């Protein structure tokens, strides 16, 4: 861009310069770029441009951070590995799909299956040459990593009760529909990873209007909550949907927009934001409403600073009303107001036995930061779930709490299923500690490039410490919700937790308090750079007040607010 050289013009120029990623997307021929050549060259990693494009195909370029120092000192290249995320709408998987994932964990990954906070599955430690075979196997088993990441609509999350209680019903179908309806149309994924041949459509390929050549400014998340269970944290979504009945119009959804929890220490003007209700849409109207929201984000969202490009900033900067007008303009009609507001409800943990569909049962199993593996000298989680899949032909659902539900169990098999879990050392619901059952942690080290501190690997220690603190205060059976992340991106949603710990330095975490199981309140920062081993000490005075002053059944986060302690 030409500049007239004045300070104002230079500043304008800097401010309006789009990020390099925008050009990479636009020039990529619908997400192809140089990926084809780079997948098969001798380099263990890929170029910066290909790195950005690979995300749209569900693939992250990483390096094993535990080995960084040793390798650098030895003047060796870093240990380049890839993470591949499988998008699983509503987290539902058949036994066959589960067994395929289980096989892939050994064949191309580090032996683990990682369940995510958005009901997806990740493979870690994949080498470049393993990516194509991995995707081909997913494709054979009707799974995809396409659009699991990148500046597009990602995996659609949904409360498992919506889909498991009626697998062929309206809401299960709607979740599957939404997952496909907003996927980009480009054939690049199949061409690059599945067929290996340029797709015929390539020359005439036209993307959906809200993607165009440059796709969205940033990622976009859709979640469907159960009206009686906010386990997916509906207020944290770009678009949150709550199924409801309209007195005259029948079945539909309250549509929320503008949620998001990530922040950045590098940009002070970043913040967590809860989504706001903007309309009620019937089932038939929903696609068009979401498309209009996407088009608004595509047209008006920030493309000059990726740290401040999520749709929540557009909603916050324009104001909800002006944002709504923009959506209406693109929809071509006014948005219907929400007549019957939703009363937020607490998240269920989906653990233990519950009735499933028909005569069948389901059991929710606590995984622990989502990492499923056969632990040396510990629980044999992969063996347990693979055995269940083979022996009973069940199906599975990943929860937004990084846990796994085994569903479709006939009443006569309940005991045998329990036995398989027990004999493989899996802790059953009744034996879980009061902090353990609701604790989340993001992946962080050693794979996440953004991690400033540990998370998943230090969760057990944090949980044990907090359970010991509860005991020492004399309330050892009270439940607490704790979420731990290695940086303020907030992948385990600490911004809405009763106790959120957010990595800031190698060993220091910012302590947030006062969110809760309804997910309808942002937690407040109460202390900075706290060591994990000191969290109990910070909390003890507050827990003591909770013990003596709380109302009957009042949760810790609610108490802190009511008592004015934050
Ligand atoms: Fe996340 C980036 C892991 C859910 C906000 N997230 C990352 C990356 C890809 C790091 C990177 O950019 O290189 C992490 C990969 C680490 C690794 O080694 O696996 C990562 N995010 C995860 C997962 C696996 C956490 C987990 O332990 O389960 C979750 C995968 C979800 C999925 O299946 O799609 C995960 N991430 C979330 C959530 C929670 C949610 O959506 O319910 C959030 C907060 C909600 C939100 O989006 O605001 C979240 N992740 C982020 C952000 C902040 C984005 C922002 O601008 O606000 C980043 C950074 C980015 O995108 O540049 C990020
Ligand atoms: Fe990585 Fe930060 Fe997300 Fe944790 S919160 S997985 S450290 S990006």
Q: Give, in degrees to the nearest 5, the angle at Cα 371 between 530 and 514.
A: 35
> Do 478 and 528 belong to one domain?
yes
Beta strand pairing call for 440-441 and 222-224: unpaired
> Do 551 and 505 belong to one domain?
yes
- CA–CA gap between residue 8 and residue 17 (Å, rounded): 14
> Do 357 and 452 belong to one domain?
no
In a domain, 423, yes or no: yes
Please state the domain count of the chain.
2
Question: What CATH code is carried by the domain that includes residue 510?
Answer: 3.30.413.10
- 442 tagged catalytic: yes
> Do 425 and 443 belong to one domain?
no
**Among candidate residues 324, 308, 226, the one with its CA nearest the CA of residue 275:** 324
Task: Summarize pLDDT for 306-364 with one digit per residue, the tens.
Answer: 999 999 999 999 999 999 999 999 999 999 999 888 999 999 999 999 999 999 999 99
In a domain, 347, yes or no: no
Q: What is the DSSP string of 451-511?
A: -SS--GGGHHHHHHHHHHHHHHHT-TT----EEEESSTT-TT-GGGSSEEEEE-SSS-EEE
- 154 tagged catalytic: yes
Domain edge (last residue) among 431, 466, 501 = 431
Task: Summarize pLDDT for 238-250 with one digit per residue, the tens.
Answer: 999 999 999 999 9
Task: Summarize pLDDT for 33-61 with one digit per residue, the tens.
Answer: 999 999 999 999 999 999 999 999 999 99
Q: Which domain holds residue 545?
A: 436-562
Question: What CATH code is carried by the domain that includes residue 393?
Answer: 3.90.480.10
Active-site option among 149, 159, 231, 491: 491
In a domain, 457, yes or no: yes
In a domain, 450, yes or no: yes
User: Is the distance from the beta carbon of residue 447 to the nearest atom of ligand 1 less than 6 Å?
Assistant: yes
Predicted confidence at residue 203, as pLDDT, reads 53
User: Is the distance from the beta carbon of residue 475 to the nearest atom of ligand 1 less than 6 Å?
Assistant: no
> Do 393 and 451 belong to one domain?
no
- Tokens 């020359």 belong to 203
User: Is the distance from the beta carbon of residue 262 to the nearest atom of ligand 1 less than 6 Å?
Assistant: yes
Total H helices, total E strands in the chain:
18, 20
Give the ligand 2 atom nearest the CA of 492: 5
In a domain, 183, yes or no: no
- CA–CA gap between residue 194 and residue 146 (Å, rounded): 11
> Do 419 and 494 belong to one domain?
no
- 448 tagged catalytic: yes
Say which ligand is closest to the CA of 217: 1
Question: Nearest C-alpha to atom 52 of ligand 1 is from which residue?
Answer: 489
> Do 378 and 363 belong to one domain?
yes
Ligand 1 midpoint to CA 53 (Å): 17
Mean confidence (pLDDT) of the chain: 95
In a domain, 296, yes or no: no
- 208 tagged catalytic: no
pLDDT bracket for residue 11 (50, 70, 90): very low
Question: Nearest C-alpha to atom 27 of ligand 1 is from which residue?
Answer: 442
- 183 tagged catalytic: no
Ligand 1 midpoint to CA 436 (Å): 22
Substitution site in 307, 314, 491, 496 for ligand 1 pocket (most atoms within 8 Å of beta carbon): 491
User: Is the distance from the beta carbon of residue 501 to the nearest atom of ligand 2 less than 6 Å?
Assistant: no
In a domain, 59, yes or no: no
Ligand 1 midpoint to CA 491 (Å): 4
Task: Summarize pLDDT for 411-451 with one digit per residue, the tens.
Answer: 999 999 999 999 999 999 999 999 999 999 999 999 999 99
- 136 tagged catalytic: no
Say which ligand is closest to the CA of 235: 1
> Do 409 and 392 belong to one domain?
yes
Ligand 2 midpoint to CA 444 (Å): 5
Cβ contact 256:275 at 8 Å = yes
pLDDT bracket for residue 532 (50, 70, 90): very high
In a domain, 478, yes or no: yes
- 221 tagged catalytic: yes
Instruction: Give the DSSP letter of residue 234.
Output: G
> Do 424 and 449 belong to one domain?
no
User: Across the strands, what pairs with 60?
Assistant: 83
> Do 403 and 453 belong to one domain?
no
> Do 554 and 440 belong to one domain?
yes
Give the ligand 2 atom nearest the CA of 486: 7
Domain edge (last residue) among 400, 431, 462 = 431
User: Is the distance from the beta carbon of residue 485 to the nearest atom of ligand 2 less than 6 Å?
Assistant: yes
> Do 497 and 397 belong to one domain?
no
- 355 tagged catalytic: no
Q: What percent of the chain has pLDDT over 70?
A: 96
Task: Summarize pLDDT for 192-224 with one digit per residue, the tens.
Answer: 999 866 555 555 578 999 999 999 999 999 999
**Among candidate residues 433, 419, 428, 421, the one with its CA nearest the CA of residue 468:** 433
Active-site option among 55, 85, 303, 371: 85
Domain edge (last residue) among 431, 455, 484 = 431
């Amino acid at each position: 861009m030409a500049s007239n050289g004045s300070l104002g013009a230079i500043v304008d120029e800097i401010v309006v310069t789009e990020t390099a990623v925008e050009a990479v997307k636009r020039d990529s021929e619908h997400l192809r770029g140089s990926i084809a050549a780079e997948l098969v060259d001798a380099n263990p990693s890929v170029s910066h441009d290909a790195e950005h494009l690979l995300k749209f195909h569900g693939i992250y370029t990483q390096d094993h951070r535990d080995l960084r120092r040793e390798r650098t000192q030895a003047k060796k290249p870093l240990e380049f590995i890839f993470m591949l995320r499988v998008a699983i709408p509503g987290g539902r998987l058949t036994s066959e799909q589960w067994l395929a994932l289980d096989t892939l964990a050994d064949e191309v990954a580090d032996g683990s299956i990682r369940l995510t906070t958005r009901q997806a599955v990740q493979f870690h430690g994949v080498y470049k040459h393993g990516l194509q075979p991995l995707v081909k196997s997913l494709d054979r088993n009707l799974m995809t990593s396409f659009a699991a990441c990148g500046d597009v609509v990602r995996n659609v999350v949904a409360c498992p009760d919506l889909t498991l209680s009626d697998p062929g019903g309206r809401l299960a179908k709607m979740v599957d529909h939404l997952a496909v309806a907003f996927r980009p149309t480009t054939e690049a994924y199949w061409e690059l990873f599945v067929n290996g041949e340029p797709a015929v459509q390539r020359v005439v390929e036209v993307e959906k209007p809200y993607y165009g050549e440059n796709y969205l400014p940033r990622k976009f998340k859709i979640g469907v909550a159960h009206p009686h269970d906010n386990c997916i944290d509906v207020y944290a979504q770009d678009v949150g949907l709550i199924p409801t009945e309209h007195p005259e119009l029948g079945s539909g959804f309250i549509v929320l927009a503008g949620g998001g929890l990530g922040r950045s220490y590098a940009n002070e003007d970043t913040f967590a934001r809860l989504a706001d209700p903007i309309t009620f849409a019937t089932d038939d109207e929903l696609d068009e409403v979401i498309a209009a929201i996407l088009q608004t984000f595509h047209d008006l969202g920030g493309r000059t600073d990726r740290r401040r490009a999520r749709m929540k900033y557009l909603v916050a900067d324009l104001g909800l009303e002006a944002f709504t007008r923009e959506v209406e303009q693109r929809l071509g009609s006014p948005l219907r107001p929400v007549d019957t507001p939703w009363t937020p409800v607490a998240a269920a943990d989906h653990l233990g036995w519950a009735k499933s569909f028909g005569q069948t049962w389901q059991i929710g199993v606590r995984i622990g930061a989502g990492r499923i593996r056969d632990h040396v000298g510990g629980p044999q989680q992969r063996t347990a779930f693979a055995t269940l899949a083979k022996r009973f032909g069940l199906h599975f659902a990943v929860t937004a709490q990084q846990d796994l539900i085994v569903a479709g169990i006939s009443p006569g098999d309940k005991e045998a299923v329990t036995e398989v879990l027990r004999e493989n050392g899996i802790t059953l619901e009744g034996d879980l500690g009061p902090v353990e059952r609701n604790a989340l942690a993001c992946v962080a080290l050693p794979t996440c490039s953004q991690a400033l501190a540990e998370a998943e690997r230090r969760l057990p220690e944090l949980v044990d410490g907090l359970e010991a603190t509860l005991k020492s205060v004399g309330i050892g059976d009270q439940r607490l919700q704790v979420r731990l992340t290695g940086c303020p991106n907030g992948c385990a949603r600490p911004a809405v937790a009763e106790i959120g710990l957010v990595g800031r330095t190698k060993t220091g975490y910012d302590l947030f308090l006062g969110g809760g199981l309804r997910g309808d309140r942002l937690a407040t920062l109460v202390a900075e750079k706290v060591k994990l081993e000191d969290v109990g000490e910070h909390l003890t005075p507050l827990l003591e007040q909770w013990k003596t002053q709380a109302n009957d059944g009042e949760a810790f986060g609610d108490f802190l607010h009511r008592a004015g302690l934050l």
